[in-house]
Chains A and B, each alone.
Chain A
């Protein structure tokens, strides 16, 4: 009986250590999400878009967009504090071609300390599910994640760096970020 208890305790300790390890790993990576596991959905998706803009690339954009041109100036200002923009879009021909388990790898990271869900919209009629998460550092927003899970489409947007939520909608349609009607969503809040 003692041996049995000892084994249970050992197993529990092992599971605890693994969970803590995963949590620390997620915490250590900051606002940048590990999106690689979604890549297997590309085999099932009818349309796939994968955009990766790292810090260096964004700095070039921020430095060389022209302040004199209004459209470029607004974006230049908005991306000045960004360190990365990562977008994955998967479009499927039929509903049910991806499972919630496929998105779980992302949700696990968004459940770690540091991430807070600020918007969650779920439509039973359409099956649409939009969630916006922020990553806080020193009380300031230092990252953002948008998860849109429709029955036939999955969109994950991960923005790393200081971002002004008021101007977030300006990024829609830019840097590979699809139009998500965030401004409309804000008006409905």
Chain B
């Protein structure tokens, strides 16, 4: 599954905007991925300026 490294994430929200399955939201100013909707397409890590999203087995 894909997770967000909250230490790296600056909260710009670019991944939220560009996620094709609307799997990412901002909850209490923290960028959060909904596992049920995420297809692990990798677009979020491609566009992230600080490479905060990472894959975890």
A and B form one complex: no
**B→A interface (CB under 8 Å):** none
